[in-house]
Amino acid sequence: MGKPTGFLEYTRELPGNKAPKERIKDYKEFVEPTSKELINKQSARCMDCGVPFCHNGCPLGNIIPEFNDAVYQENWKDAIDILQSTNNFPEFTGRICPAPCEASCVLGINQPPVAIELIEKTIVEKAYELGYIQPDIPETRTGKKVAIVGSGPAGLAAAAQLNKVGHEVTVFERAEEIGGLLRFGIPDFKLDKSVVQRRVDVMEKSGIIFKTNTNIGKDIPAKQLEEEYDAVVLAGGSTTPRDVPIKGRELKGVYFAMDFLSQNNARVAGKTELKNHKGESVEEVFATDKDVLVIGGGDTGSDCVGTSNRHGATSITQIELLEMPPLDRSESTPWPLWPLKMRTSSSHEEGVQRQWAVFTKEFVGDENGNLVGARVCDMGWSDPQPGKKPHWEVIEGTEKVIPCNLALLAIGFLHPDKAGMLEELKLELDERGNVKCDEKYKTSNKKVFAAGDMRRGQSLVVWAISEGRECARSVDEYLMGDSVLEAKDHSFFEVSHA
Protein backbone atom coordinates (compact mmCIF):
# COMPACT_ATOMS: atom_id res chain seq x y z
CA MET A 1 0.00 0.00 0.00
CA GLY A 2 1.59 3.23 -1.19
CA LYS A 3 0.21 5.60 1.43
CA PRO A 4 -2.18 4.41 4.16
CA THR A 5 -3.86 7.81 4.43
CA GLY A 6 -3.85 8.63 0.72
CA PHE A 7 -7.57 8.02 0.19
CA LEU A 8 -8.31 10.45 3.04
CA GLU A 9 -5.96 13.17 1.82
CA TYR A 10 -6.60 13.23 -1.93
CA THR A 11 -9.65 13.11 -4.13
CA ARG A 12 -9.91 11.80 -7.67
CA GLU A 13 -8.28 14.06 -10.22
CA LEU A 14 -7.69 13.55 -13.93
CA PRO A 15 -5.50 15.53 -16.35
CA GLY A 16 -7.30 18.24 -18.27
CA ASN A 17 -8.44 18.12 -21.87
CA LYS A 18 -7.84 20.63 -24.60
CA ALA A 19 -10.90 22.92 -24.93
CA PRO A 20 -13.65 21.49 -27.19
CA LYS A 21 -13.48 24.40 -29.65
CA GLU A 22 -9.76 23.79 -30.07
CA ARG A 23 -9.66 20.02 -30.19
CA ILE A 24 -12.31 19.66 -32.91
CA LYS A 25 -9.91 21.41 -35.30
CA ASP A 26 -7.94 18.17 -35.74
CA TYR A 27 -7.99 14.44 -34.98
CA LYS A 28 -5.19 14.34 -32.43
CA GLU A 29 -5.56 12.95 -28.92
CA PHE A 30 -6.44 15.89 -26.68
CA VAL A 31 -5.76 14.71 -23.11
CA GLU A 32 -3.13 16.89 -21.48
CA PRO A 33 0.08 15.27 -20.13
CA THR A 34 -0.12 13.72 -16.67
CA SER A 35 2.18 15.34 -14.11
CA LYS A 36 4.36 13.32 -11.76
CA GLU A 37 2.58 14.88 -8.76
CA LEU A 38 -0.89 14.05 -10.06
CA ILE A 39 -0.16 10.38 -10.78
CA ASN A 40 1.59 10.01 -7.42
CA LYS A 41 -1.49 11.29 -5.58
CA GLN A 42 -3.88 9.14 -7.60
CA SER A 43 -1.87 5.96 -6.94
CA ALA A 44 -1.74 6.93 -3.26
CA ARG A 45 -5.57 6.80 -3.10
CA CYS A 46 -5.58 3.00 -3.55
CA MET A 47 -6.47 1.33 -0.23
CA ASP A 48 -4.93 -2.07 -1.06
CA CYS A 49 -8.20 -3.69 0.00
CA GLY A 50 -8.21 -7.07 1.68
CA VAL A 51 -10.66 -8.18 -0.99
CA PRO A 52 -9.84 -6.09 -4.08
CA PHE A 53 -13.08 -6.14 -6.06
CA CYS A 54 -11.35 -4.22 -8.86
CA HIS A 55 -9.64 -7.50 -9.80
CA ASN A 56 -12.99 -9.10 -10.51
CA GLY A 57 -14.43 -5.99 -12.10
CA CYS A 58 -11.70 -6.24 -14.73
CA PRO A 59 -12.27 -9.03 -17.29
CA LEU A 60 -8.49 -9.41 -17.50
CA GLY A 61 -8.04 -9.76 -13.75
CA ASN A 62 -5.47 -6.96 -13.63
CA ILE A 63 -3.52 -6.97 -10.35
CA ILE A 64 -4.44 -3.39 -9.60
CA PRO A 65 -3.41 -2.61 -5.98
CA GLU A 66 0.04 -4.04 -6.69
CA PHE A 67 0.73 -1.89 -9.72
CA ASN A 68 -0.75 1.14 -7.94
CA ASP A 69 1.79 0.62 -5.15
CA ALA A 70 4.63 0.27 -7.68
CA VAL A 71 3.58 3.56 -9.29
CA TYR A 72 3.50 5.32 -5.91
CA GLN A 73 7.03 4.02 -5.27
CA GLU A 74 8.01 5.13 -8.80
CA ASN A 75 9.12 1.58 -9.55
CA TRP A 76 8.09 1.63 -13.21
CA LYS A 77 9.75 -1.68 -14.10
CA ASP A 78 7.74 -3.57 -11.50
CA ALA A 79 4.60 -1.65 -12.50
CA ILE A 80 4.80 -2.63 -16.17
CA ASP A 81 5.74 -6.22 -15.33
CA ILE A 82 2.70 -6.55 -13.07
CA LEU A 83 0.42 -4.89 -15.61
CA GLN A 84 1.61 -6.89 -18.62
CA SER A 85 1.30 -10.16 -16.71
CA THR A 86 -2.47 -9.90 -17.30
CA ASN A 87 -2.89 -7.32 -20.07
CA ASN A 88 -1.07 -7.48 -23.41
CA PHE A 89 -2.12 -4.01 -24.53
CA PRO A 90 -2.54 -1.52 -21.66
CA GLU A 91 -1.91 1.34 -24.10
CA PHE A 92 -5.27 0.44 -25.72
CA THR A 93 -7.30 -0.24 -22.59
CA GLY A 94 -5.78 2.81 -20.89
CA ARG A 95 -7.37 4.95 -23.59
CA ILE A 96 -10.63 3.33 -24.69
CA CYS A 97 -11.78 0.92 -21.96
CA PRO A 98 -14.88 2.06 -19.99
CA ALA A 99 -13.01 0.91 -16.87
CA PRO A 100 -15.34 -1.62 -15.19
CA CYS A 101 -12.54 -1.99 -12.63
CA GLU A 102 -13.27 1.54 -11.41
CA ALA A 103 -16.96 0.70 -11.03
CA SER A 104 -15.92 -2.11 -8.67
CA CYS A 105 -13.39 -0.06 -6.68
CA VAL A 106 -14.16 -0.32 -2.95
CA LEU A 107 -13.32 3.35 -2.46
CA GLY A 108 -16.06 4.08 -5.00
CA ILE A 109 -18.74 3.06 -2.50
CA ASN A 110 -18.71 6.51 -0.91
CA GLN A 111 -16.01 8.45 -2.79
CA PRO A 112 -14.90 8.84 -6.42
CA PRO A 113 -13.02 5.63 -7.34
CA VAL A 114 -9.28 5.34 -7.86
CA ALA A 115 -8.23 6.59 -11.31
CA ILE A 116 -7.17 3.10 -12.39
CA GLU A 117 -7.41 3.67 -16.14
CA LEU A 118 -5.23 6.77 -15.96
CA ILE A 119 -2.65 4.91 -13.89
CA GLU A 120 -2.65 2.04 -16.37
CA LYS A 121 -2.05 4.37 -19.32
CA THR A 122 0.69 6.21 -17.42
CA ILE A 123 2.49 2.95 -16.62
CA VAL A 124 2.64 1.76 -20.21
CA GLU A 125 3.63 5.13 -21.65
CA LYS A 126 6.39 5.43 -19.04
CA ALA A 127 7.50 1.89 -19.89
CA TYR A 128 7.83 2.77 -23.57
CA GLU A 129 9.74 5.91 -22.61
CA LEU A 130 12.18 3.98 -20.42
CA GLY A 131 12.65 1.16 -22.93
CA TYR A 132 11.00 -1.53 -20.82
CA ILE A 133 8.74 -2.73 -23.63
CA GLN A 134 10.87 -4.87 -25.88
CA PRO A 135 10.18 -7.68 -28.36
CA ASP A 136 9.19 -10.90 -26.55
CA ILE A 137 11.24 -13.43 -28.50
CA PRO A 138 10.92 -17.00 -27.19
CA GLU A 139 14.16 -18.86 -26.43
CA THR A 140 12.96 -21.96 -28.27
CA ARG A 141 10.31 -22.76 -30.87
CA THR A 142 7.90 -25.66 -30.55
CA GLY A 143 7.63 -26.39 -34.26
CA LYS A 144 3.86 -25.86 -34.11
CA LYS A 145 2.22 -23.42 -36.52
CA VAL A 146 -0.91 -21.42 -35.64
CA ALA A 147 -2.99 -19.30 -38.03
CA ILE A 148 -5.01 -16.43 -36.58
CA VAL A 149 -7.72 -14.84 -38.70
CA GLY A 150 -8.40 -11.25 -37.68
CA SER A 151 -6.05 -8.66 -36.20
CA GLY A 152 -8.29 -6.89 -33.73
CA PRO A 153 -7.55 -7.00 -29.99
CA ALA A 154 -8.65 -10.64 -29.63
CA GLY A 155 -6.49 -11.85 -32.52
CA LEU A 156 -3.50 -9.76 -31.44
CA ALA A 157 -3.75 -10.97 -27.83
CA ALA A 158 -3.94 -14.60 -28.94
CA ALA A 159 -0.97 -14.03 -31.25
CA ALA A 160 1.15 -12.46 -28.52
CA GLN A 161 0.43 -15.25 -26.05
CA LEU A 162 1.01 -18.11 -28.49
CA ASN A 163 4.21 -16.56 -29.78
CA LYS A 164 5.45 -16.13 -26.21
CA VAL A 165 5.37 -19.89 -25.63
CA GLY A 166 7.22 -20.63 -28.86
CA HIS A 167 4.60 -21.36 -31.50
CA GLU A 168 5.02 -19.93 -35.00
CA VAL A 169 2.12 -17.50 -35.40
CA THR A 170 0.76 -15.98 -38.60
CA VAL A 171 -2.00 -13.37 -38.41
CA PHE A 172 -4.20 -12.90 -41.48
CA GLU A 173 -6.07 -9.61 -41.96
CA ARG A 174 -8.40 -8.80 -44.86
CA ALA A 175 -7.85 -5.04 -44.53
CA GLU A 176 -4.68 -3.32 -45.65
CA GLU A 177 -3.34 -2.68 -42.16
CA ILE A 178 -3.24 -4.49 -38.83
CA GLY A 179 -5.49 -3.56 -35.92
CA GLY A 180 -9.10 -4.37 -36.78
CA LEU A 181 -11.47 -1.82 -35.26
CA LEU A 182 -8.57 -0.41 -33.23
CA ARG A 183 -7.25 0.79 -36.56
CA PHE A 184 -10.37 1.34 -38.63
CA GLY A 185 -13.22 1.91 -36.17
CA ILE A 186 -12.04 3.99 -33.22
CA PRO A 187 -11.30 7.62 -34.14
CA ASP A 188 -7.75 8.93 -33.87
CA PHE A 189 -8.76 11.51 -31.26
CA LYS A 190 -9.46 8.59 -28.91
CA LEU A 191 -6.70 6.24 -30.05
CA ASP A 192 -3.97 7.66 -32.25
CA LYS A 193 -2.98 5.08 -34.83
CA SER A 194 0.71 5.55 -34.05
CA VAL A 195 -0.10 3.87 -30.72
CA VAL A 196 -1.47 0.84 -32.57
CA GLN A 197 1.44 0.70 -35.01
CA ARG A 198 3.95 1.00 -32.18
CA ARG A 199 2.63 -2.23 -30.66
CA VAL A 200 2.37 -4.00 -34.02
CA ASP A 201 6.04 -3.17 -34.66
CA VAL A 202 7.03 -4.75 -31.33
CA MET A 203 5.01 -7.87 -32.16
CA GLU A 204 6.62 -8.20 -35.58
CA LYS A 205 10.06 -7.99 -34.00
CA SER A 206 8.92 -10.72 -31.60
CA GLY A 207 8.53 -13.07 -34.55
CA ILE A 208 4.82 -12.81 -35.34
CA ILE A 209 4.05 -12.83 -39.07
CA PHE A 210 1.36 -10.45 -40.35
CA LYS A 211 -0.32 -10.89 -43.73
CA THR A 212 -2.67 -8.07 -44.78
CA ASN A 213 -5.05 -7.78 -47.75
CA THR A 214 -5.80 -11.47 -47.23
CA ASN A 215 -9.45 -12.42 -46.94
CA ILE A 216 -9.69 -16.01 -45.73
CA GLY A 217 -12.43 -17.79 -47.64
CA LYS A 218 -11.84 -15.55 -50.64
CA ASP A 219 -8.14 -14.94 -51.26
CA ILE A 220 -7.11 -18.13 -49.48
CA PRO A 221 -9.46 -21.10 -48.92
CA ALA A 222 -10.20 -21.62 -45.25
CA LYS A 223 -9.54 -25.32 -45.70
CA GLN A 224 -5.99 -24.47 -46.74
CA LEU A 225 -5.32 -23.00 -43.30
CA GLU A 226 -6.78 -26.09 -41.69
CA GLU A 227 -4.42 -28.26 -43.75
CA GLU A 228 -1.25 -26.16 -43.40
CA TYR A 229 -1.46 -25.15 -39.73
CA ASP A 230 -1.60 -27.18 -36.52
CA ALA A 231 -4.38 -24.94 -35.15
CA VAL A 232 -6.52 -22.07 -36.42
CA VAL A 233 -7.94 -19.23 -34.31
CA LEU A 234 -10.86 -17.24 -35.70
CA ALA A 235 -10.95 -13.70 -34.30
CA GLY A 236 -12.69 -11.83 -37.09
CA GLY A 237 -15.10 -9.92 -34.89
CA SER A 238 -18.83 -9.27 -35.12
CA THR A 239 -19.06 -7.51 -38.46
CA THR A 240 -22.70 -7.68 -39.55
CA PRO A 241 -24.25 -4.35 -38.50
CA ARG A 242 -27.77 -4.13 -37.14
CA ASP A 243 -30.03 -2.38 -39.65
CA VAL A 244 -33.37 -0.55 -39.44
CA PRO A 245 -35.68 -2.08 -42.07
CA ILE A 246 -38.01 0.90 -42.34
CA LYS A 247 -39.41 2.99 -45.16
CA GLY A 248 -36.80 5.27 -46.70
CA ARG A 249 -33.81 3.14 -45.67
CA GLU A 250 -32.59 3.24 -49.29
CA LEU A 251 -32.36 7.04 -49.40
CA LYS A 252 -29.03 8.68 -50.13
CA GLY A 253 -27.76 9.95 -46.81
CA VAL A 254 -28.41 6.87 -44.62
CA TYR A 255 -25.24 4.96 -43.74
CA PHE A 256 -23.91 2.49 -41.22
CA ALA A 257 -21.83 4.26 -38.58
CA MET A 258 -18.82 1.99 -39.00
CA ASP A 259 -18.60 2.73 -42.73
CA PHE A 260 -18.57 6.45 -41.87
CA LEU A 261 -15.93 6.03 -39.16
CA SER A 262 -13.71 3.60 -41.06
CA GLN A 263 -13.40 5.79 -44.12
CA ASN A 264 -12.65 8.80 -41.96
CA ASN A 265 -9.82 6.94 -40.24
CA ALA A 266 -8.46 6.06 -43.67
CA ARG A 267 -8.75 9.70 -44.72
CA VAL A 268 -6.92 10.89 -41.60
CA ALA A 269 -4.18 8.34 -42.37
CA GLY A 270 -3.72 9.99 -45.77
CA LYS A 271 -5.19 7.18 -47.86
CA THR A 272 -6.79 8.05 -51.19
CA GLU A 273 -8.81 4.86 -51.54
CA LEU A 274 -11.42 4.82 -48.79
CA LYS A 275 -12.51 1.45 -47.42
CA ASN A 276 -14.74 0.21 -44.64
CA HIS A 277 -13.69 -2.09 -41.80
CA LYS A 278 -14.20 -5.09 -44.10
CA GLY A 279 -11.68 -3.76 -46.59
CA GLU A 280 -14.38 -2.87 -49.14
CA SER A 281 -14.31 0.37 -51.12
CA VAL A 282 -17.03 2.76 -49.97
CA GLU A 283 -18.67 5.98 -51.06
CA GLU A 284 -17.12 9.09 -49.53
CA VAL A 285 -19.34 10.59 -46.84
CA PHE A 286 -18.86 13.90 -45.05
CA ALA A 287 -20.92 15.53 -42.30
CA THR A 288 -19.73 19.00 -43.34
CA ASP A 289 -22.56 21.58 -43.39
CA LYS A 290 -25.15 18.87 -42.78
CA ASP A 291 -27.81 18.21 -40.17
CA VAL A 292 -26.64 14.91 -38.74
CA LEU A 293 -28.80 12.35 -36.97
CA VAL A 294 -26.96 9.65 -35.02
CA ILE A 295 -29.20 6.70 -34.18
CA GLY A 296 -27.78 4.84 -31.19
CA GLY A 297 -26.50 6.05 -27.83
CA GLY A 298 -23.42 3.89 -27.30
CA ASP A 299 -19.71 4.44 -27.87
CA THR A 300 -19.98 4.11 -31.64
CA GLY A 301 -22.68 6.76 -31.70
CA SER A 302 -20.49 8.99 -29.55
CA ASP A 303 -17.61 8.50 -32.01
CA CYS A 304 -19.92 9.59 -34.83
CA VAL A 305 -20.73 12.75 -32.87
CA GLY A 306 -17.06 13.60 -32.35
CA THR A 307 -16.21 12.93 -35.99
CA SER A 308 -19.18 14.96 -37.26
CA ASN A 309 -18.10 17.89 -35.10
CA ARG A 310 -14.66 17.72 -36.65
CA HIS A 311 -16.21 17.67 -40.13
CA GLY A 312 -18.06 20.87 -39.32
CA ALA A 313 -21.65 19.62 -39.16
CA THR A 314 -24.39 22.25 -39.00
CA SER A 315 -26.20 20.36 -36.23
CA ILE A 316 -25.94 16.95 -34.56
CA THR A 317 -28.81 15.09 -32.89
CA GLN A 318 -28.29 11.75 -31.18
CA ILE A 319 -31.29 9.58 -30.32
CA GLU A 320 -31.51 6.50 -28.13
CA LEU A 321 -34.34 3.98 -27.86
CA LEU A 322 -33.98 3.56 -24.08
CA GLU A 323 -35.02 6.06 -21.44
CA MET A 324 -32.56 8.59 -20.12
CA PRO A 325 -30.56 6.85 -17.37
CA PRO A 326 -30.27 8.32 -13.87
CA LEU A 327 -27.47 10.78 -13.17
CA ASP A 328 -26.13 8.61 -10.36
CA ARG A 329 -25.84 4.84 -9.91
CA SER A 330 -29.22 3.14 -10.24
CA GLU A 331 -30.55 1.04 -7.37
CA SER A 332 -30.87 -1.82 -9.87
CA THR A 333 -27.07 -1.91 -10.29
CA PRO A 334 -25.57 -1.54 -6.80
CA TRP A 335 -21.84 -1.65 -6.17
CA PRO A 336 -19.80 -3.57 -7.35
CA LEU A 337 -21.91 -4.07 -10.50
CA TRP A 338 -21.38 -1.98 -13.62
CA PRO A 339 -23.66 0.98 -12.86
CA LEU A 340 -26.63 2.03 -14.93
CA LYS A 341 -26.14 5.80 -15.00
CA MET A 342 -25.94 8.81 -17.31
CA ARG A 343 -22.62 9.03 -19.15
CA THR A 344 -21.33 12.04 -21.05
CA SER A 345 -18.39 11.42 -23.36
CA SER A 346 -15.80 13.94 -24.52
CA SER A 347 -17.55 13.95 -27.91
CA HIS A 348 -20.84 14.93 -26.26
CA GLU A 349 -19.06 17.84 -24.63
CA GLU A 350 -18.10 19.11 -28.08
CA GLY A 351 -21.73 19.67 -29.08
CA VAL A 352 -24.79 17.49 -29.63
CA GLN A 353 -28.49 17.43 -28.81
CA ARG A 354 -29.29 14.14 -27.08
CA GLN A 355 -32.78 12.65 -26.96
CA TRP A 356 -33.91 9.47 -25.20
CA ALA A 357 -36.80 7.03 -25.60
CA VAL A 358 -37.15 7.86 -29.30
CA PHE A 359 -38.19 5.35 -31.98
CA THR A 360 -37.39 5.88 -35.67
CA LYS A 361 -40.43 5.09 -37.84
CA GLU A 362 -39.38 6.30 -41.29
CA PHE A 363 -36.70 8.15 -43.23
CA VAL A 364 -38.09 11.03 -45.29
CA GLY A 365 -36.65 11.92 -48.70
CA ASP A 366 -37.06 14.55 -51.39
CA GLU A 367 -38.04 14.02 -55.02
CA ASN A 368 -34.41 13.17 -55.90
CA GLY A 369 -34.05 10.38 -53.36
CA ASN A 370 -32.02 12.41 -50.86
CA LEU A 371 -32.58 12.16 -47.12
CA VAL A 372 -34.18 15.26 -45.61
CA GLY A 373 -35.53 14.01 -42.29
CA ALA A 374 -36.46 11.17 -39.96
CA ARG A 375 -39.98 10.60 -38.69
CA VAL A 376 -39.77 9.58 -35.03
CA CYS A 377 -42.00 9.17 -31.99
CA ASP A 378 -41.54 8.87 -28.26
CA MET A 379 -41.45 5.51 -26.51
CA GLY A 380 -42.54 4.50 -23.03
CA TRP A 381 -42.79 1.48 -20.78
CA SER A 382 -46.09 -0.33 -20.68
CA ASP A 383 -47.48 -1.33 -17.31
CA PRO A 384 -45.90 -4.68 -16.47
CA GLN A 385 -48.35 -7.56 -16.24
CA PRO A 386 -48.02 -10.24 -13.53
CA GLY A 387 -45.49 -12.84 -14.63
CA LYS A 388 -44.49 -10.85 -17.71
CA LYS A 389 -41.63 -8.50 -18.45
CA PRO A 390 -42.45 -4.85 -19.16
CA HIS A 391 -42.04 -3.83 -22.77
CA TRP A 392 -41.77 -0.67 -24.85
CA GLU A 393 -44.69 0.86 -26.67
CA VAL A 394 -45.17 3.89 -28.87
CA ILE A 395 -46.71 6.96 -27.18
CA GLU A 396 -49.48 8.13 -29.47
CA GLY A 397 -49.50 11.74 -30.57
CA THR A 398 -45.74 12.26 -30.18
CA GLU A 399 -44.76 11.84 -33.83
CA LYS A 400 -42.41 14.46 -35.30
CA VAL A 401 -39.81 14.85 -38.03
CA ILE A 402 -36.19 15.53 -37.14
CA PRO A 403 -34.54 17.40 -40.03
CA CYS A 404 -31.41 15.58 -41.22
CA ASN A 405 -29.56 14.94 -44.44
CA LEU A 406 -27.10 12.48 -42.94
CA ALA A 407 -28.27 9.61 -40.73
CA LEU A 408 -25.72 7.28 -39.14
CA LEU A 409 -26.86 3.91 -37.82
CA ALA A 410 -24.88 3.17 -34.66
CA ILE A 411 -27.06 0.44 -33.20
CA GLY A 412 -24.57 -2.38 -32.84
CA PHE A 413 -23.58 -5.57 -34.60
CA LEU A 414 -25.43 -8.87 -34.86
CA HIS A 415 -22.84 -11.57 -35.62
CA PRO A 416 -19.83 -12.35 -37.84
CA ASP A 417 -20.09 -12.68 -41.60
CA LYS A 418 -21.52 -16.14 -42.24
CA ALA A 419 -20.63 -16.35 -45.92
CA GLY A 420 -17.17 -17.46 -46.96
CA MET A 421 -14.89 -18.73 -44.20
CA LEU A 422 -17.52 -19.94 -41.72
CA GLU A 423 -19.55 -21.67 -44.43
CA GLU A 424 -16.45 -23.30 -45.89
CA LEU A 425 -15.37 -24.66 -42.51
CA LYS A 426 -18.98 -25.78 -41.82
CA LEU A 427 -18.79 -24.46 -38.28
CA GLU A 428 -21.75 -24.73 -35.93
CA LEU A 429 -23.23 -21.38 -34.91
CA ASP A 430 -25.16 -20.47 -31.77
CA GLU A 431 -28.70 -19.05 -31.62
CA ARG A 432 -27.36 -15.51 -32.16
CA GLY A 433 -25.32 -16.43 -35.22
CA ASN A 434 -21.95 -16.37 -33.48
CA VAL A 435 -19.40 -19.18 -33.74
CA LYS A 436 -20.37 -21.83 -31.21
CA CYS A 437 -17.54 -22.98 -28.93
CA ASP A 438 -17.13 -25.13 -25.85
CA GLU A 439 -15.57 -23.85 -22.63
CA LYS A 440 -12.14 -24.28 -24.21
CA TYR A 441 -12.97 -21.94 -27.12
CA LYS A 442 -12.97 -24.94 -29.46
CA THR A 443 -15.47 -24.92 -32.35
CA SER A 444 -17.26 -27.89 -33.89
CA ASN A 445 -14.03 -28.43 -35.84
CA LYS A 446 -11.49 -29.81 -33.34
CA LYS A 447 -8.62 -27.92 -35.01
CA VAL A 448 -10.39 -24.56 -35.10
CA PHE A 449 -10.87 -22.18 -32.16
CA ALA A 450 -12.68 -18.83 -31.92
CA ALA A 451 -12.34 -15.80 -29.67
CA GLY A 452 -13.57 -12.25 -29.22
CA ASP A 453 -16.73 -10.77 -30.69
CA MET A 454 -16.92 -13.60 -33.24
CA ARG A 455 -17.56 -15.97 -30.34
CA ARG A 456 -19.21 -13.94 -27.56
CA GLY A 457 -20.89 -11.22 -29.64
CA GLN A 458 -20.22 -7.49 -29.70
CA SER A 459 -18.42 -6.47 -26.53
CA LEU A 460 -15.64 -4.36 -25.00
CA VAL A 461 -12.01 -4.20 -26.09
CA VAL A 462 -11.00 -5.49 -22.65
CA TRP A 463 -13.19 -8.57 -23.15
CA ALA A 464 -11.65 -9.12 -26.60
CA ILE A 465 -8.15 -9.14 -25.10
CA SER A 466 -9.30 -11.47 -22.35
CA GLU A 467 -10.89 -13.84 -24.87
CA GLY A 468 -7.74 -13.86 -26.99
CA ARG A 469 -5.60 -14.73 -23.97
CA GLU A 470 -7.92 -17.48 -22.76
CA CYS A 471 -8.25 -18.92 -26.26
CA ALA A 472 -4.46 -18.94 -26.63
CA ARG A 473 -4.16 -20.98 -23.45
CA SER A 474 -6.62 -23.55 -24.81
CA VAL A 475 -4.78 -23.71 -28.14
CA ASP A 476 -1.49 -24.23 -26.31
CA GLU A 477 -3.03 -27.06 -24.28
CA TYR A 478 -4.38 -28.61 -27.48
CA LEU A 479 -0.97 -28.47 -29.15
CA MET A 480 1.26 -29.38 -26.20
CA GLY A 481 -0.99 -31.26 -23.75
CA ASP A 482 -0.54 -28.56 -21.09
CA SER A 483 0.07 -24.82 -20.90
CA VAL A 484 2.12 -22.42 -18.80
CA LEU A 485 0.00 -19.46 -19.95
CA GLU A 486 -1.97 -17.68 -17.24
CA ALA A 487 -5.66 -18.45 -16.81
CA LYS A 488 -8.32 -16.07 -15.52
CA ASP A 489 -11.38 -17.18 -13.56
CA HIS A 490 -14.36 -15.17 -14.89
CA SER A 491 -17.00 -16.77 -12.67
CA PHE A 492 -17.48 -13.77 -10.37
CA PHE A 493 -17.48 -11.28 -13.22
CA GLU A 494 -20.00 -13.25 -15.27
CA VAL A 495 -22.40 -13.50 -12.31
CA SER A 496 -22.02 -9.94 -11.03
CA HIS A 497 -22.41 -8.42 -14.51
CA ALA A 498 -25.28 -10.63 -15.66
Predicted pLDDT at 224: 96
Predicted pLDDT at 487: 72
For residues 113 and 105, the answer to whether their CB atoms sit within 8 Å is yes
Average pLDDT over residues 37-60: 94
Predicted pLDDT at 278: 67
Backbone CA torsion sign across 263, 240, 179, 27: positive
224-235: pLDDT as tens digits? 999 999 999 999
Q: Say if residue 336 is preceded by a cis peptide, omega within 30 of 0.
A: yes
Per the model's pLDDT, the better-predicted residue between 497 and 260 turns out to be 260
pLDDT higher than threshold 50 for residue 464? yes
> Percentage of the chain surpassing pLDDT 90?
88
Same fold, 145-239+414-496 and 257-411: yes
476-498: pLDDT as tens digits? 999 999 999 987 654 444 443 33
Q: For residue 392, name the pLDDT band (cuts at 50, 70, 90).
A: confident
**6-130, superfamily in CATH?**
Alpha-helical ferredoxin (1.10.1060.10)
Whole-number Cα distances in Å, 306 to 151, 346, 361: 25, 8, 25
Beta bridge partners of 379: 394
Average pLDDT over residues 51-65: 93
> Which of 305, 234, 276, 288 shows the shortest CA–CA distance to 455?
234
**257-411, superfamily in CATH?**
FAD/NAD(P)-binding domain (3.50.50.60)
Predicted pLDDT at 154: 98
Q: For residue 410, name the pLDDT band (cuts at 50, 70, 90).
A: very high
Average pLDDT over residues 76-95: 97
333-367: pLDDT as tens digits? 899 999 989 999 999 999 999 999 999 999 999 99
Q: For residue 404, name the pLDDT band (cuts at 50, 70, 90).
A: very high
Average pLDDT over residues 265-279: 80
Per DSSP, helices labelled H in 286-419 are: 299-311, 346-349
Q: Which of 54-58, 378-382, 456-460 has the lowest mean pLDDT?
A: 378-382
Q: Does domain 145-239+414-496 have CATH number 3.40.50.720?
A: no
Q: What ranges do the domains of the chain cover?
A: 6-130, 145-239+414-496, 257-411
Whole-model pTM above 0.85? yes
Predicted pLDDT at 496: 39
pLDDT higher than threshold 50 for residue 92? yes
